[in-house]
Amino acid sequence: MSTTYTLDTKTDRAHPTPKPMKRLTVPAIRSRKTDGKTGEPLVMLTAYTVRAAQLLDPHCDMLLVGDSLGQVVYGLDSTIPVSLDMMIAHGAAVVRGSYHSVVIVDLPFGSYEESPEHAIRSATRVMKETGAAAVKMEGGEAMAGTVAFLTARGIPVMGHVGLTPQAVNILGGHKVQGRDDATAAKVIADAKAIDQAGAFAIVIEGVIEPIAIEATRAVSCPTIGIGGSAQCDGQVLVTEDMLGMFDRVPRFVKKFDDLATNISNAVETYAADVRSRSFPEEAQTYQPKK
């Protein structure tokens, strides 16, 4: 007896028929910057679920399963409590929902800082259990050795410098970096160190624009700005922020829609229809066959 079956893509929400497209690769992302210049900027957004991945995938070069899910999905005060298991569960979902973008999964706080060996154990779990193409790590010069260790062993790494949310307790809050000579120099040095260690791209977050531009010009790999500059080699935002799902967002967010209001209005209408018994209508019910 055959154990194979065919998914009904007309009714199965998790498995819609994908449009034919070839998934991008880490080398393809890295090669977008040549001789210090990137022609078409790279597009990256966060994704935490299958459905979000399906909707974002055709338009993005990269999907980041960010530890920002701690706040966006779980309502946590920061990214600090996010666990490796949480990242793996959401990472696997995003890989299942995407066919085109390079999927990168954040290594959460406490899963890589102890040593390169510690980091590779965590990163190996992520790669094996999610099917993602790469991991992302926060930190600059202090993490360069770990980036080189992972890269040399077949695990692509995206770096993250400037405002690093996992270091919020050291930074004293989500403070913009580069306003003084010391932090400006640190951003540049951190970006160079991670680039030289073999990172295929670097997120530059919450850095004053001139320093974000200088860091972009100082490294050979693409930079992805978030609160940086349009002159970075690409951009990333938390999807729920740019879609207008939250009232309070960082200064660097541009709201491209107002989904919170749209959803609220739709639910208000639904509730009114239920209470007035105007839903469901005949079209939404099953009638006896005539």
Place of tokens 């580069």: 178
Tell me phi and psi for residue 66, to 5 degrees.
Answer: -85, 150
Strand spans (E) along the chain:
33-34, 37-38, 42-46, 62-65, 102-106, 134-136, 157-162, 201-205, 223-226, 234-237
Active site (catalytic) residues: 205
Structure-token pair, residue 9: 């893509």
Sort strands 37-38 and 33-34 into parallel, antiparallel or unpaired. Answer: antiparallel
Chain centre distance of CA 275? 40
> Which residues have a Cβ under 8 Å from the Cβ of 225 and sit 6 or more positions away?
203, 204, 205, 212, 216, 232, 234, 235, 236
Q: Is the Cβ–Cβ distance between 58 and 52 less than 8 Å?
A: no
Place of tokens 């077949």: 154
Task: Pick the closest to residue 24 from 59, 48, 51 (CA basis).
Answer: 59
Q: Measure the CA angle with vertex 216, ends 213 and 217; round to 5°.
A: 90
Binding residues for Mg(2+): 67, 106, 138
Task: Pick the closest to residue 136 from 167, 152, 159 (CA basis).
Answer: 159
Binding residues for 3-methyl-2-oxobutanoate: 67-68, 106, 136
Sort strands 201-205 and 157-162 into parallel, antiparallel or unpaired. Answer: parallel
Binding residues: 67-68, 106, 136, 138
> Which residues have a Cβ under 8 Å from the Cβ of 243 and sit 6 or more positions away?
255, 256, 257, 259
